[in-house]
Structure 1
Amino acid sequence: MAEVAKPVYTTEYKPHSSEKMKAALWMGPKSIELGEVPKPTITAPKDAIVHITHCTICGSHLHMYSGDLNKAMKKGLIMGHEAIGIVEEVGPEVKNLKAGDRVVILPVIACGECFYCKRREYSLCDQTNPSKELELMYGHRLSGIFGYSTITGGYPGNQAEYCRVPNADLTCVKTPKEIDAKKLVALADVTPTAWHGCELAEVGEGDVVGVWGCGVIGLSIQRLAKFRGARKVYAIDKDANRLEIAKSFGMIPVNVNEHRDPADYILSVEPNGLDRGIEASGFRSTNSAAHATMKALGIEGDSSDTVTAVIKATRKGGNVALIGDFFFTTNNFPIGMLMEKTITLRGGQLFAQKYFPFLLDIVVEGKYDPSFIFTHEDNLENISQGYDAFFNHTVPGGLKVCLATAFGRAQK
């Protein structure tokens, strides 16, 4: 393998424009404020400036909102990595985009040139994340991500009126202008992340699949597993409303409040176990006293509860994928069960640029509609309340909010 390239992408937009824009700013735990900041300008020849029309709040942002990533946050960081908009300006080396194009901004910022990008493993990019902290934590850097802490590069996000997009030819995707905005925002992150979960688990024709989590990622994984030919899909959660949504899509609901050990229940009805088990609930998936105690004492960051259940419920020789975010360390990981059952375990952030052409095609062709994830619509100006509602599970309809900027509202 060639020597790892040093990161070359700037995460700051300098010099700043004298113009101002509205943006969602992280001001501390459970404090997101809509403030005024300088509008970004072209900083590098491959940049584009996108005038945002619609954006949304990602479940992964709850790490930052709740305070779990305090040490990796900087006051005033612009949040967000799921947005669409209209290109306003491009740098001199941008070849595939021009002013006026409607685009989806992908969350992963990749160089397209390093060892991993050439393998189309874009979230593993060597060049777009200068974080030494992440390298110390994991032994390597991962790609830059918009609006997602200093350990993913400190890039300003796109819960804002404008966004500077580095390496725009790879990070932006031109889209038809007539497609509903909610479908495109859902394609920015949720749908390719869900597809990534199916890819990691190798979901295929005739499989029996279990998905832990019925948030928008989990529900999308379930539906895409069916799209890929899965014979049965079990949906595991403790939220009755979300389980009803899963049931309405043809999934088999498993309520954790009724089956305290969902793995035992699944094995009672599927003695061979699941062919593919996918963890899509992540860091907020447990309320166990043991985890709360260890977390308070600083000896555990992530819980192994759902991971243990997934591995237990998966058949010998099956596949397990981790798509719910885990960042830190965990205790009581069932390494013996994983090893002795010959289970393949994979995880990681999405390869957005790899999947996007196919996913855009199936949406444009009407084969898959990802917009179901949005059960509420609102304005960017109300994003502070949106974070609070998302964190407390009080979003109308129970899933996700699509936020329109003033510019986006004027496009109708």
Structure 2
Amino acid sequence: MRANCWTGRNSVEVLDVPDPRILNSRDAIVKVTSTAICGSDLHLYDGYVPTMRKGDILGHEFMGEVVETGSGVPNLSVGDRVVVPFPIACGACNACERGLTSVCENSNPNAGIAEKFMGHSPCGIFGYSHMLGGYAGGQAEYVRVPFADIGPLKITSDIPDEKVLFLSDILPTGYMGAEMCDISPGDVVAVWGAGPVGQFAIAGARLLGAERVIAIDRFPERLDMAASKAGATDVVNYAETPVLEALQELTGGRGPDACIDAVGLEGHAASALYAYDRVKQAARLETERPTALREAILACRSGGVVSVIGVYGGLMDKFPIGAFMNRSLILRTGQAHVHRYMEPLLARIEQGDLDPSFVITHRMALDEAPQGYEMFKNKQDECIKVVLTP
């Protein structure tokens, strides 16, 4: 089969690789019909996530058709159309029983590696380094899906792939970021980053009752999408306006009730501190450029919530712990517990409350994945989201 493989820093190639096969009774093989390039994939592409190996198959946002199942997958049949959540979860451990599927205790066979970096291991993730399981990803013609009796969501209607594909990751991620804000009627929420996850955090905040949602980014096309499609009431271009000053003005000096960091470890800013982070990160003396997180903590009203759904990988410098502690802020974080959100969000889509396909700007064949990565990374042709078709 053909698959998009990591071949080194800033390098991917679509190669011929062996077809996946059933290895466990709870496995299924899925023929991929749609897959996507995620902002998190760029962290792998840029070389900031350790334990990648040449030839690893990338991709954790995908859906398709079941072509084979193990004997322990009674819920799926050959021909079923499914969306596969990016966290691989067993469904039976302490974390899974609590609905915390992105920290499943059983799905990462390489947990010992992750424990050295993080203390405890999160779940295994498709196509996301050997530290997180070494699982082959979904930017391929076929994928082996472990724990298929727990993960995949059947799509029984004829709704197009593009409306449900993002149930695999970025739609639940953005929605969870908003849900963690404990939004009450009248609240003001600020969202750093108007990429695909940020767009869905904005949409989620509006669905959950926020009166105002402020989108923060530097690309006009992203800010336009946030205002016209996602539901942002205000936009701030940080390349033109100091963010903290703008948020003070927009909130009467109090600050947003909640702040969502949808940026993560490759943040950008026009400041001396950004230059400091950039140099340290390039020299591998620091793994993060936490511009968005620092600003979110400083901007949030006292007693408010800072929600972090942008991906961070290791260690950051100059974390504003004084502001965080002294102003009674609440910090909530996490990879999305996708399993718990898939059915409720599918219902929202089917009811017409939400059409996630608005974030798609580019559609390409799987063999064009290398061009897609470069386009997405460098924001060429106003690229916001790339969907690949095997």
TM-score of the superposed pair, with normalisation by structure 1: 0.90
Contact 1:277 1:310 in 2 (8 A): yes
1:7: which partner in 2? Answer: none
CA distance in 1, matches of 2:166, 2:266: 22
The equivalences for 1:125-144 within 5 A come to 125-131=104-110, 132-144=112-124
1:80: which partner in 2? Answer: 59
**1:18-59 Cα shifts (integer Å, max 9, x gaps):** xxx110111111111110111111110011000111111110
Aligned residues: 382
Q: 1:400 aligns with which of 362, 385, 390?
A: 385
**1:135-181 Cα shifts (integer Å, max 9, x gaps):** 01111011000001111111000100000000102121101241111
1:327: which partner in 2? Answer: 313
CA distance in 2, matches of 1:319, 1:282: 17
Q: After alignment, is 329-338 or 396-405 more displaced? A: 396-405
Q: 2:188 aligns with which of 198, 208, 216?
A: 208
Measure how far apart 1:316 and its partner are. 1.0
Q: Does 1:254 align with 2:263?
A: no
Q: After alignment, is 287-296 or 238-247 more displaced? A: 287-296
* CA RMSD of superposed structures (Å): 1.2
Which amino acid in the other structure matches residue 93 of structure 1? Answer: G
Measure how far apart 1:397 and its partner are. 4.5
Q: Does 1:91 align with 2:52?
A: no
Contact 2:179 2:205 in 1 (8 A): no
Which amino acid in the other structure matches residue 159 of structure 2? Answer: I
Measure how far apart 1:62 and its partner are. 0.5
The equivalences for 1:50-65 within 5 A come to 50-65=30-45
1:110: which partner in 2? Answer: 89
Q: Does 1:178 align with 2:164?
A: no
Q: Does 1:284 align with 2:266?
A: yes
Which amino acid in the other structure matches residue 145 of structure 1? Answer: I
1:269: which partner in 2? Answer: 250
Which amino acid in the other structure matches residue 247 of structure 2? Answer: I
Which amino acid in the other structure matches residue 393 of structure 1? Answer: K
1:232: which partner in 2? Answer: 212
Which amino acid in the other structure matches residue 19 of structure 2? Answer: K
Measure how far apart 1:268 and its partner are. 2.3
Contact 1:208 1:230 in 2 (8 A): yes
Contact 2:267 2:290 in 1 (8 A): no
Q: 1:223 aligns with which of 180, 203, 212?
A: 203
**Structure 2 unpaired stretches of 5+:** none
**1:218-268 Cα shifts (integer Å, max 9, x gaps):** 0111011111110000000111221121122442110101113x0222012
**Structure 1 unpaired stretches of 5+:** 1-20, 406-412
Q: Does 1:341 align with 2:323?
A: no
CA distance in 1, matches of 2:185, 2:92: 34
Contact 2:88 2:151 in 1 (8 A): yes
Measure how far apart 1:203 and its partner are. 2.7
**1:196-232 Cα shifts (integer Å, max 9, x gaps):** 1112222343210000000000011101111111000
CA distance in 2, matches of 1:74, 1:138: 20
Which amino acid in the other structure matches residue 140 of structure 1? Answer: H
CA distance in 2, matches of 1:74, 1:203: 42
Contact 1:102 1:177 in 2 (8 A): no
Contact 2:266 2:290 in 1 (8 A): no
Which amino acid in the other structure matches residue 398 of structure 1? Answer: C
CA distance in 1, matches of 2:198, 2:78: 36
CA distance in 2, matches of 1:292, 1:401: 26
1:193: which partner in 2? Answer: 173
